[in-house]
Amino acid sequence: MANKILVTGGAGYIGSHTAVELINSGYEITIVDDLSNSKESAIAGIEKITGQKVEFVKLDLRDYDALKELFANNKFDAIIHFAASKAVGESMQIPLHYYRNNIQCLLNLLELMDEYNVPNMAFSSSCTVYGQPDQLPVTEQTPFKPAESTYGNTKKINEDILRDAARSNEKYQLIALRYFNPVGAHETAEIGELPLGVPNNLIPFVTQTAAGIREQLSIFGDDYGTPDGTAVRDYIHVVDLAKAHVIAVDRLLGKKNKANYEFFNLGTGKGSSVLEVVNTFERVNDLKLNYKIVDRRAGDVEQTYADTTLANEELGWKAELGLDEMMKSAWAWQQKLN
Ligand code: UDP
Model confidence over 244-257: pLDDT tens digits?
999 999 999 999 99
| 115-118: long-range pairs with CB below 8 Å, 24+ | 115/68, 115/71, 116/71, 116/72, 116/76, 117/171, 118/6, 118/71, 118/76, 118/77, 118/78, 118/79
Kindly state if the Cβ of 291 falls inside 6 Å of ligand 1. Answer: no
- At 155-178, the pLDDT tens digits run 999 999 999 999 999 999 999 999
Query: Within 10 A of 209 (CB to CB), how many other CB atoms are there?
Result: 21
- CA dist 161 and 114 (Å) reads 14
Instruction: Specify the pLDDT at position 12.
Output: 98
Percent of the chain with pLDDT over 70: 100
Q: Quick one: pLDDT at residue 197?
A: 87
- Residue of 27, 98, 130, 151 with catalytic role: 151
Mean pLDDT in the chain? 96
Can you give the pLDDT at residue 318? 98
The Cα 198–Cα 207 span in angstroms is 12
Pocket test for ligand 1, best of 129, 208, 300 (most atoms within 8 A of CB): 300
The neighbouring-strand residues paired with 176 are 123, 263
CA distance 45 to 193: 12
Which residues, including other chains, have CB under 8 Å from residue 133's CB and lie 6 or more apart?
Answer: 142, 145, 301, 304
Which atom of ligand 1 is found nearest the CA of 128? 25
pLDDT category at 338 given cuts 50, 70, 90 is confident
Write down the pTM of the prediction. Answer: 0.98
Residue 224, ligand 1, Cβ within 6 A: no
Give per-residue pLDDT as tens, 24-77. Answer: 999 999 999 999 999 999 999 999 999 999 999 999 999 999 999 999 999 999
Higher pLDDT, 146 or 202: 202
CA of 127 to the centre of ligand 1 (A): 14
Q: Does 126 score more than 80 pLDDT?
A: yes
Confidence of residue 133 (pLDDT cuts 50, 70, 90): confident
Is 151 annotated as catalytic? yes
3-state percent helix, strand, coil for the chain, nearest multiple of 5: 40, 20, 40
Look at residue 260 and give its three-state secondary structure.
coil
Which stretches of the chain are DSSP H helices? 13-24, 41-50, 64-73, 88-93, 95-115, 150-168, 202-210, 238-253, 274-285, 309-310, 323-337
Q: How far is the CA of 279 from the centre of ligand 1 (A)?
A: 15
Residue 233 CB less than 6 A away from ligand 1: yes
Q: How many CA atoms lie less than 13 Å away from 195 in the CB half-sphere?
A: 21
Give Cα 40 to chain centroid, integer Å: 18
